[in-house]
Amino acid sequence: MYLIEAEAVDEFKRVLLSLYDALLAERDLNEVIIQTEFDGLDLVPADRNLVGANLELIDVPEREFRLRQRLLPVRHLYRFILVDCPPALDLLTLNALAAADSVLIPIHCEFFALEGISQLMDTIDRVRDSFGHPLAIEGILLTMYDDRTNLTRQVASDLREFFGDEVFKTVIPRSVRLAEAPSFGKPILYYDIRSRGAESYIRLAKEILANEQNAGTAAEGAR
């Protein structure tokens, strides 16, 4: 028989909790948040239970706002909260859109991605109209970028022509180091900060912060 300290039991239970528990099991989001070894980075884990959340949310009151309600008590603790969505326009994605201030849209430089982004834009317009939610477009991010191919250059050109300044100047290249980093449980900045992928994400962060500062300056000037 092994004796386990109470603190260890509490920590084990905490690790088992996920976003599913916050959305559907009425657990406080503070119970689910995990502090990582990386300064300034906390996580809310997801697990396979979340797959069934779309069906379980159907009969829940205010089902589109569950995530927004759960985030409210912790929003003031963070400057940025990133909600990673699956590539599907379902109730979970709708929850994310209803909770977000803005949407960052990553898009592979492939032909069918152009159709996907048009559908997403329609969904964003519906969220704005149906919920009176002023959801902004943070930007469109070109990923898996390989400028050696004609298709990549053509898709990038089409997006920049149609969406203009909404497309980030920064692009995220195809990178073996980016693909390797998750298998080591590390962000790319800790796995290989000198890689092209890491440098690209640093440039992206700087571009987002610069855009935010410019928007704040413009808002001050309009008052």
Token couple for 19: 């976003």
pLDDT, tens only, 11-33:
544 557 999 999 988 889 999 99
- Rounded to the nearest 5 degrees, what angle is found at the Cα of 190, between the Cα atoms of 187 and 192? 100
Provide the 10 A C-beta neighbour count for residue 67.
21
Got the DSSP string for 83-148? ----SS-SHHHHHHHHH-SEEEEEEESSHHHHHHHHHHHHHHHHHHHHH----EEEEEEEEEE-TT
Taking alpha carbons only, the member of 42, 102, 95, 35 closest to residue 69 is 95
Q: What is the mean pLDDT of residues 53-62?
A: 88
166 vs 25, 101, 208, CA distance in Å?
Answer: 38, 16, 11
In this structure, the strands spanning 136-145 and 102-108 are parallel
Q: Which residue has the higher pLDDT, 220 or 185?
A: 185
Q: What is the mean pLDDT of residues 23-49?
A: 90
Cβ(33)–Cβ(71) under 8 Å?
no
Please state the pTM of the whole predicted model.
Answer: 0.84
Got the DSSP string for 149-198? SHHHHHHHHHHHHHHGGGEEEEEEE--HHHHHGGGGT--HHHH-TTSHHH
Confidence at residue 8, expressed as pLDDT on a 0 to 100 scale: 45
DSSP assignment, residue 72?
G
Confidence at residue 69, expressed as pLDDT on a 0 to 100 scale: 94
**How long a stretch of residues is the chain?**
223
Confidence at residue 221, expressed as pLDDT on a 0 to 100 scale: 67
